[in-house]
Amino acid sequence: MALNLAKLVLGYLKERPDEKLTARQLAEWIFSTFPDECQAKKQSSQYVSTDAELLQQLVAEISSQRPRLQKRHPELKTTEGRPRKYYYSEKSDVAEVAAAEGVVAAPIADSSDAKLGEHAMYPLLSLYLWEELGVYSKRIDEKRSSNKRGPNGNRWLYPDVVGMEDLGAEWHQEVRDCVNQYSDKRTKLWSFEAKLLINRSNVRECFFQAVSNSSWANFCYLVAAEIEGQDTLKELRMLFAAHGIGVIKLDADNPAESQVLIPARERDEIDWDMANRLATENRDFLDYVKLVKQFYQTGEARLADWDVPEMTD
């Protein structure tokens, strides 16, 4: 019997709803489950002579068939970023977001099967920012905000995480002293809005939330644990062209493998009027401003003052 990859992939994923697998994982399952058919496929091919080459061929064919298969079966969905993952879900995009945001935050160490909650994203994001980008970060807790403007008066005002980049960390002390005296370009300030899941149903809302609460900074990013669907990433690129907000795909299992899918466009100047609004309304943001001021006064950023994870050997 010849292999029908589309039928096999769809059937296998349908039996495991919401389980996300890469094309390679699917190919490995097919290779181990249908050895005779796979060997027959190898024998009939002019270009495949080894099992490794056959496995790679299966991966390529699964990937190439994906767009056509998704048109016929919209329940077959994929995530964006590397590597793309396939899964089967009959939930609408709106229902998937609601299900993701309804998850109770749980530390990743609790269980390999534990779902990621939004609050569990923040230390992972801080780890990635520090180890890969050299950014000192600080969590902004909206619960520490003033409510004097009434319900929704401060809606979409605060980012989830803010950061500071020390541009002169490797500079000679004399150069650092000179810059401290004659320039205010010693740092870059960053702002991040974190989401568990971005898909077609909430992509614009998430993006414009980041525009609303992060465009005061030099670099503004929307961070997602999962991004589902090519149309979603296409929309994010289109919105980036107009507003300059970047996108980071956060890898919860290995933060170092997180990806900047869309680099943010740098803003030359800080919007200090907006920064003042945030500092007036939120004590965490005020503490962040104090840390930046302290850095300019002393030339040093103390790791203990920031949400920088402890380094382990």
- CATH number for the domain spanning 49: value is 1.10.10.10
Q: Is residue 310 part of a domain?
A: no
Q: Is residue 108 part of a domain?
A: no
Give the pLDDT score at 62. 85
Give the pLDDT score at 214. 85
Same domain, 221 and 276: yes
Same domain, 134 and 257: yes
Same domain, 158 and 43: no
Per-residue CA distances from 19 to 55, 113, 126, 183, 232 (Å): 21, 11, 27, 52, 20
Same domain, 126 and 271: yes
Q: Is residue 99 part of a domain?
A: no
Q: Is residue 259 part of a domain?
A: yes
Give the pLDDT score at 34. 86
Q: Is residue 74 part of a domain?
A: yes
Domain of 14 in residue numbering reads as 5-90
Same domain, 84 and 223: no
Give the pLDDT score at 298. 83
Same domain, 160 and 204: yes
| Number of domains forming the structure of the chain | 2
Give the pLDDT score at 144. 66
Same domain, 83 and 123: no
Same domain, 61 and 125: no
Q: Is residue 192 part of a domain?
A: yes
Same domain, 140 and 194: yes
Give the pLDDT score at 176. 65
Give the pLDDT score at 151. 53
Give the pLDDT score at 178. 61
Hey, what are 36's tokens? Answer: 């005779």
Same domain, 64 and 144: no
Reading the chain (313 residues) residue by residue, the pLDDT tens digits are 577 888 888 888 888 887 888 898 998 998 888 888 888 888 888 777 888 888 888 888 888 888 888 888 888 888 877 788 888 887 777 777 777 666 544 444 443 444 566 778 888 999 999 988 889 999 988 776 656 655 555 566 778 899 998 877 777 676 666 666 555 577 889 999 999 999 888 999 999 999 988 888 999 999 999 998 778 899 999 999 989 999 999 988 888 889 999 999 999 888 888 888 888 888 898 899 888 888 888 878 888 899 887 755 5
Same domain, 157 and 249: yes
Q: Is residue 165 part of a domain?
A: yes
Same domain, 148 and 270: yes
Q: Is residue 65 part of a domain?
A: yes
